[in-house]
C-alpha cells in the first residue's frame, strides 16, 4: 500500500514537471509579439489525474481475475462471427435505425477495412512493413480522376485500370525496397509515399496541385444513373426500379459497391493463402534464408505481394475518388498510411476479422465523436499505444495455420 502510494506520488510529480512548460504556460499573441499566460490549475489537474490513475493501476489491476483462456472451438466461432458480420453488413442500409449519415460512415469504415485487407497481404502475409501504402491509394484515386476527366471513361472501365496502374507502381517502388530488411523497408516506403505526395502537390499542370481535382464523375449501375436528371441517353435508377428519386439511393449504392469490393479483397486473400504463391509469402515472412535454400525466388514473391496489395489500394482509391467527387494531396498524407498500418497491426497481423474490428475502433468510433474534434486525435494516438501495451500482437492474434498435417482433433 505504502509502496503503491509512493509510486503514485512520484508519477504525479513527474506528470506535474512534464506538464509545467507546455501546459502551464500558454503562448499568447499580443501587440508586441508573443507573451505568456499562466494556467497552473491545468498542471495541478494533470498531476492529480496521473496520481489517481497510477494508484488505481497499482491497486486494482493485480486484484482483477485473469481472463479465462478462449474456448477450444474459437476458430469455429470466428468463422460464424465472420459470416454474421457479413450478413449484418448486407442488411445494414435497410435497418430501421440506418439513416443516410450512418450508411455514409459505414462506407468510410469499409474503405479502411478494404485498405487494411489490402495492406494485410503485404504486411501480414508477406511480412514487408510498408509505411507508404497511401501512395498506391493516391495512384488509384488520381488515375481514375484523370482518366475520367481526360478521356471521359466511365468508372467501371477505370476501376480495373486504376488497379493495374497501382500494381505497376507497386512493382516500380517495390524494386528498390526488396533488397532491404526489416525497419529499413518501413522508412524507404515512407519516403516513397512522401515523394508521391510532394509530386502530386507540385505537378500543377496534371494534378491540379494543392487544389486537387473536383467534379469527378459518379458511377452508374449498369448504365443507370443516380442523378436526379440523368444525362443524355441514360435512364435513372429510380425510374427503372419504380421508386421516387432520392439522393439516398446513391449513398446506399456506394455502400454496396465498397462492400462488394472489400469482400472481394477478403475472398481473394483467403483463397490465395492456399495457392503456392500465398504459401510462399508466409514462408518468406517466417524465414527468408530457408526459403531461398528451398528454391523460392524472394524477389518475385515479394514483388507479387507488393503489386497485389497495391492493386487493392488502387481499387479503394478509385472508389474514394468517385465517392468524394473531389481529391487533393491533403487526403493522402503519411497520417493515412499510419492509420492503415495501425489497423492491420492492432487487428492482429494476418487476421481478417481483427482488421474489421480495428477499423471499427480506429475509424468508426472517432467518426462518432466528431463533436469532440480536438480530442479525437489524442484519443486515437492513445488507443494505438494502449492496445499495443495490452495486446502487443494485436486484438485477434491467433493465426490460422496455412496447412494442417495429419488429423486435427
Partner 1 sequence: MEYFLQQLINGLTLGAIYGLIALGYTMVYSILGMINFAHGTIYMMGAFISLIAYLAATTIGGASVVVALFVALFATMGFTGLWGWTMERVAYRPLRAAPRLAPLISAIGVSIILQNFVAQAQGARVKPLPPVIRGGFSLMEGDGFAISLSWMQIIVVLTTLALMAGFTWMITSTSLGRAQRACEQDMKMAALLGIDVDRVISTTFVIGASLAGVAGLMVTLYYGVIDFYIGFLAGIKAFTAAVLGGIGSLPGAMLGGLLIGLIEALWSAYFSIEYKDVATFGILVMVLVFRPTGLLGRPDVEKI
Cα→Cα distances 176→76, 191, 302, Å: 41, 12, 12
Give me the least distance between CB of 14 and partner 1, in Å please: 6
Rounded CA-CA distance 337/134 in Å is 5
CA pair distance 273, 271, nearest whole angstrom:
5
Compare residues 29 and 371 and give the one whose CB is closer to partner 1: 29
Cα–Cα distance for residue pair 177/133, rounded to 1 Å: 13
Q: Which residues bind partner 1 (CB under 8 A)?
A: 14, 17-18, 20-23, 25-27, 29, 33-36, 123, 129, 176, 179-180, 182-184, 186-188, 190-192, 194-195, 198-199, 201-202, 289, 334, 338, 341-342, 345-346, 349, 374-375, 377-378, 380-385, 388-389, 392-393
CB of 155 to partner 1, least distance (A): 31
Q: Which of 44, 39, 37, 35 is nearest to 17 (CA)?
A: 44
Which of 113, 150, 373, 135 is closest to 269 using CA atoms?
Answer: 113
How far from the centroid of its chain's Cα atoms is residue 393's Cα?
A: 17
Of 247, 326, 226, 258, nearest in space to 107 by CA: 258
Non-local (6+) Cβ contacts of 208 within 8 A are 328
The answer to whether residues 180 and 129 touch, using CB atoms and an 8 Å cutoff, is no
C-alpha closest to that of 344 among 131, 85, 108, 103:
131
> What cell was used for 43?
498542471
- CB of 22 vs partner 1, minimal distance in Å: 5
Q: How many angstroms from the chain centroid is the CA of residue 365?
A: 13
Residues β-bridged to residue 399: none
Amino acid at each position: 500500500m505504502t509502496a503503491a502510494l509512493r509510486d503514485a506520488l512520484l508519477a504525479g510529480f513527474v506528470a506535474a514537471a512534464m506538464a509545467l512548460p507546455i501546459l502551464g504556460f500558454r503562448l499568447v499573441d499580443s501587440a508586441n509579439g508573443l507573451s505568456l499566460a499562466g494556467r497552473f490549475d491545468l498542471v495541478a489537474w494533470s498531476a492529480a489525474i496521473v496520481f489517481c490513475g497510477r494508484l488505481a493501476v497499482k491497486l486494482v489491476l493485480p486484484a482483477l481475475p485473469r481472463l479465462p483462456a478462449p474456448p477450444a472451438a474459437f476458430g469455429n466461432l470466428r468463422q460464424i462471427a465472420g459470416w454474421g458480420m457479413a450478413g449484418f453488413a448486407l442488411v445494414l442500409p435497410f435497418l430501421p435505425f440506418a439513416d443516410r449519415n450512418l450508411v455514409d460512415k459505414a462506407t468510410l469504415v469499409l474503405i479502411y477495412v478494404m485498405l487494411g485487407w489490402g495492406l494485410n497481404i503485404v504486411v501480414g502475409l508477406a511480412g514487408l512493413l510498408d509505411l507508404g501504402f497511401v501512395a498506391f491509394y493516391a495512384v488509384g484515386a488520381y488515375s481514375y480522376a484523370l482518366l475520367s476527366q481526360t478521356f471521359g471513361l466511365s468508372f467501371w472501365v477505370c476501376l480495373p485500370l486504376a488497379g493495374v496502374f497501382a500494381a505497376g507502381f507497386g512493382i516500380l517502388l517495390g524494386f528498390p525496397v526488396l533488397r532491404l530488411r526489416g525497419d529499413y523497408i518501413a522508412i524507404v516506403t515512407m519516403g516513397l509515399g512522401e515523394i508521391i505526395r510532394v509530386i502530386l502537390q507540385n505537378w500543377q499542370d496534371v494534378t491540379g496541385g494543392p487544389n486537387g481535382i473536383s467534379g469527378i464523375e459518379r458511377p452508374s449501375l449498369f448504365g443507370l444513373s443516380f442523378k436526379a436528371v440523368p444525362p443524355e441517353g441514360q435512364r435513372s435508377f429510380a425510374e427503372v426500379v419504380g421508386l421516387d428519386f432520392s439522393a439516398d439511393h446513391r449513398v446506399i449504392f456506394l455502400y454496396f459497391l465498397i462492400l462488394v469490393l472489400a469482400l472481394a479483397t477478403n475472398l481473394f486473400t483467403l483463397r490465395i493463402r492456399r495457392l503456392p504463391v500465398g504459401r510462399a509469402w508466409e514462408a518468406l515472412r517466417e524465414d527468408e534464408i530457408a526459403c531461398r535454400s528451398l528454391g523460392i525466388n524472394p524477389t518475385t514473391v515479394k514483388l507479387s505481394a507488393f503489386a497485389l496489395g497495391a492493386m487493392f489500394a488502387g481499387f479503394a482509391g478509385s472508389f474514394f475518388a468517385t465517392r468524394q467527387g473531389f481529391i487533393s494531396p491533403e487526403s493522402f498524407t503519411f497520417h493515412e498510411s499510419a492509420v492503415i498500418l495501425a489497423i492491420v497491426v492492432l487487428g492482429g497481423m494476418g487476421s481478417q476479422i481483427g482488421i474489421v474490428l480495428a477499423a471499427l475502433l480506429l475509424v468508426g468510433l472517432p467518426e462518432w465523436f466528431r463533436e469532440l474534434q480536438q480530442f479525437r486525435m489524442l484519443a486515437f494516438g492513445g488507443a494505438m499505444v494502449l492496445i499495443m501495451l495490452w495486446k502487443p500482437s494485436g486484438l485477434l492474434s491467433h493465426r490460422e495455420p496455412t496447412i494442417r498435417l495429419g488429423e486435427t482433433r
